[in-house]
Structure 1
Amino acid sequence: MTGGYPHRGHGSSNRERAPRRVRPIDGALHAAAYCLARLFARMLALVALCALIGTRTRARTCARTRSALRLRTAATLLGAAVLSACGLLPKQVPAPIVEHSYIPTPAEAAPNEPEEPLPEVQAPEPASAVKPAPAPKPKRRIVRPKPQEPAVTPPPEPAEPPPPPQIISTRTMQHDQLHGLLDAEVQRPDGKVVGRAVDMYIDTAARPKLLMVNLAGFMGVGDRKVNFPWTAFRFTPNAKGAPITFVQPSPPAKGKPADPAPKPQPVNEAPPNLVQLVDSTVAQKSGARIGRVVDVLVDSQSQPQALVLDLSSSLAEDKRHVAANWGDLHVVSHNKQWQLQMDFNDAQLKATPTYSPEQPIKIVSPVVPAPASAPAGSSAAPAASGTSGTSGAAATGPTGTTASGAVSAQKPASSARPAK
């Protein structure tokens, strides 16, 4: 068949053209191999030359090194000769590459399927023909009544526990209202200090009667302790100078004799019905020891307001000072001796606040619990007012603050109750 495409099996033209394609590639490979062989041979020759030069410079070295270099040079030259002779080996002609192509005849071609006609493009309708969308119908809101919730009654609140029983009552005073008696300076009306207060004496009704003063001598020589009547002194707690002043007798009125000037009395001539206060022991009703009197706090009206007790060796095992109310002090006779007594118990002593010169003074009184048959309202009044025969909590302040935070009214007391 002439003038057409070559059919399957006609490969004469491909076989004739194959050697032409292989020969240029084969020649290029041979040229590249030859260049590489020559380059490698030159490098080997250069290495051999360097080795020969090195052998000449080291000609004086040992014979073993020279023979090794000769063997190395010979091996290098032999390798170069072997590599340069690789081009003399017979070359293998690669197989020819035959390209085959198949072109089907018109008879073998499949009949063409009829093409489907394209759908006709419909023209858009005019804008006037567009119908508006119907308006949505309004939704009716259905209100359903909420079911009534059942009434929930809250649980009853638990009753608050009753406050703890009141065991002590306190009243607060400042240091400019009271002054300690022990070691306080005593001055004359002209301001000259003549001595210091040492102690005081009280009667069986716990009323102050005598003040013991240590009159100063010259440079400590000639000091002596004497007693003066309590009414011969005026107390000024907030004074800048001496807090105790010796008061001169007032001038006599017309037709009346003048008051005699108070004279000092020796200490050993004190009346036997008077009790020395400082360093005396205060006990409970049961006879248990409460503490030791270390000071007495006196106000501007010359009335004692509190006893400062040292509880270092009491039953409460406290090592501190407390200010006990003066109205709770009793003078009782025990084994034909006068004894100081107060109505504190161990629990009340533990609850008393500590007396400190840097803090406000809290004067403490014991509170005796009321009998169980008496109503609660009537039992609080005797304990707070101090009129009960057992409590004896007399106070000078307008109000008293209890240990539990309650405020109880207290009336002023100028002296302690008489002993039973």
Structure 2
Amino acid sequence: MILNDSNGVYLEEKVSCEIREWPSMMWKKCIVQATATTRRVRSACVLQAAGAALLVLIAAGALAGAAAADLVIEIPASGVGAGGEAAGARYRLDYTPPQGSPEPNFTVPAQASTINFRGLPGTKYHFMLYYSNATFADLLTWNQTIITAPEPPTNLTVTQGRNKKTIITWSPPAHGDYTGFRFKVIPLTDAREGARNITVEGGNGSYAVRDLAPGATYQLHAFTLLHDKESAAYASRNFTVRGAGRARDAVVTRSALCTGPNTPGKFIVWFRNETTLLVLWQPPYPPGAYTHYKVSIEPRDARDSELYVEKEGEPPGPAQAAFKGLVPGRAYNISVQTVSEPEVSAPTTAQYRTVPLRPRNVTVDARELRETSFRVSWLPPADHRLRSTHFTHSPALQSSMSPSRPLAPSHG
């Protein structure tokens, strides 16, 4: 409970949280409700204004890619009628530091329901809401100190060093203040290992994590701290610790450490015709952590040459994707990757060819029949996109011909 004795108003703070997830980040919205009660009797109008509940919604502006924090101050109806004192009644919002929108000393009519405030991330604000009418001027009805959530750290990387050490490096947020950082290392290969929570105070930009299991896959969450306030969003990376056979190596570059999800298993084309290839593949082993697959085809002739397929099941089973609208008889390079935002695995690749179209109007001239030869003629397929294709005739001769030129007669 927060006491404001200057005007006889107690503010009781209640906090609840709502968690939401996106593929590449998580954020949480905190609802801070301050309920005012009075100790001294005033006029009915003043009691209604001072006793109004104020609901403050705090959300991270980083969701929209902006360096800002959004607060919504919700003013419930005070119950004052449309006439009398209510005609000139108003609220005035003041705050420090004076960086935000609307600017300090912003006023709204008492009938207003909300005040939308946009401030800086990682900033300690002190808000004061005053009520005025024809009888009273600047009656302090609500005040509160709110620390806006800092932005998450940037440039998060994971590399592996000697002696079973995994090195985490990062940069502080580009905007706002901070007092430290918190990291959560979550095992994905063996959940029995348990997550690790690491807190680093100050602006140190690296930390060594020891004794992670060789060959195991982990997910790293990185938060920024400002006193007791944690960033609403976090930076995330998946990484796999090198096996014991390579643990003697010196510190490696970022590209030498697998920071993405595991590569999918082998795949096949289990249905094909002249314009369609249906691909079926196995999930990675071990599965690790990923959310979906990225399947692409080259040349990009398909109606959709890049497809995203969600992972299904736990553990996941085989998955499939179809490429349609392809050129008959053409060879295509197909690749399948697993995705754990923002990381993408190395691809599994293979080449497959669509079924060529049949030639048209194949005829054999009866007048040219000989004991050891005959003449055949045809027209190429009607599809103008068809590339060079070969046709084989006569099991005895076993020769190939271009579709644009009939076979010359052969004499034995």
> How high is the TM-score relative to the length of structure 2?
0.21
More strand by share: 2
Indicate the structure (1 or 2) with the bigger Cα radius of gyration.
1
> How high is the TM-score relative to the length of structure 1?
0.21
